[in-house]
């Protein structure tokens, strides 16, 4: 019996990267999934990959939209429950960053865009998930938030992204506390240098260096090659946490490249 059999999950930002890899890993474990993102074609591709990965007939839906839109988020969760009958897990994965920018040069529009996607979106999804978790029978559920090592230690010139991920830490702890009596658990996954378009596209200071390295700006002002690793290892860890009973909480989970300069960074 697969660990996710009979369980329903919702993955935001499922059109690529960590969201897509996690959806595939969950499908492989027997989960039924609602997949959402802003790009429908890429979402459909994720759905097909989930079908191919699942050892049993896969049950999944795609719902295109923007998690910063309150009306859409309400409809997303309503559609999920109407289709599957319940919800067991939410993976708050959708997120954006901004090009490395000096604080004094950062436009308010850019800062707000990052905060809306990385903080407002997860809050809206969390609120709807907790309403479902408390009302369904049996009640309870799990929320997994995509954090970052930037929730602990910033990179240079990343004030918007770093601020948003510090906010996710507060969201995670509040969910864990407020959901405790109803077996609503919460995990923050802090990921470092996983190979995705976000991590290697220069959005937070990264440039493609080689197949196993990425260039990142360092606190001393120069760029240096840092180790990266395959996203499948993040996905497998998230699927493992998702399989736990709601009586067990992993509050924080760190997954990073072994050679990444985080411990003692700077």
Catalytic residue (choose from 123, 133, 161, 195) = 161
161 among known catalytic residues:
yes
C-alpha to C-alpha distance for 25 and 242, rounded to whole angstroms: 11
C-alpha to C-alpha distance for 184 and 182, rounded to whole angstroms: 5
Q: Distance between terminal CA atoms of the chain?
A: 47
Residue 41 CB coordination number (10 Å): 8
C-alpha to C-alpha distance for 187 and 22, rounded to whole angstroms: 15
Q: Tell me whether residue 260 is exposed, middle or buried, using C-beta atoms within 10 angstroms of its C-beta: 0 to 12, 13 to 18, 19 or more.
A: middle
Residues annotated as part of the active site: 161
């Amino acid at each position: 019996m697969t660990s996710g059999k009979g369980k329903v999950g919702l993955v935001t930002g499922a059109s690529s990267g960590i969201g897509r890899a996690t959806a595939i890993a969950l499908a492989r474990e027997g989960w039924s999934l609602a997949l959402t993102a802003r790009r429908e074609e890429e979402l459909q591709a994720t759905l097909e990959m989930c079908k191919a990965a699942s050892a049993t007939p896969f049950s999944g839906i795609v719902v295109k939209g923007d998690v910063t839109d309150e009306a859409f988020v309400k409809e997303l969760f309503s559609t999920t429950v109407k289709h599957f009958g319940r919800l067991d897990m939410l993976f708050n994965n959708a997120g954006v960053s901004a090009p490395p920018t000096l604080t004094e040069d950062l436009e308010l529009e850019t800062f707000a865009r990052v905060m809306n996607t990385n903080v407002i979106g997860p809050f809206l999804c969390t609120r709807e998930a907790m309403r479902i978790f408390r009302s369904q029978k049996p009640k309870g559920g799990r929320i997994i938030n995509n954090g970052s090592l930037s929730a602990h230690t910033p990179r240079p010139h990343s004030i918007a992204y770093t601020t948003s991920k510090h906010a996710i830490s507060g969201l995670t702890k509040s969910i864990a506390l407020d959901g405790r009596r109803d077996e609503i658990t919460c995990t923050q996954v802090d990921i470092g240098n996983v190979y995705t378009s976000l991590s290697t596209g220069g959005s937070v200071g990264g440039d493609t260096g080689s197949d196993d390295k990425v260039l990142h700006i360092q606190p001393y002002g120069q760029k240096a090659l840092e180790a990266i690793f395959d996203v499948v290892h993040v996905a497998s860890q998230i699927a493992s946490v998702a399989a736990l009973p709601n009586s067990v909480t992993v509050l924080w989970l760190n997954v990073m490249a072994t050679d990444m300069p985080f411990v003692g960074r700077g």
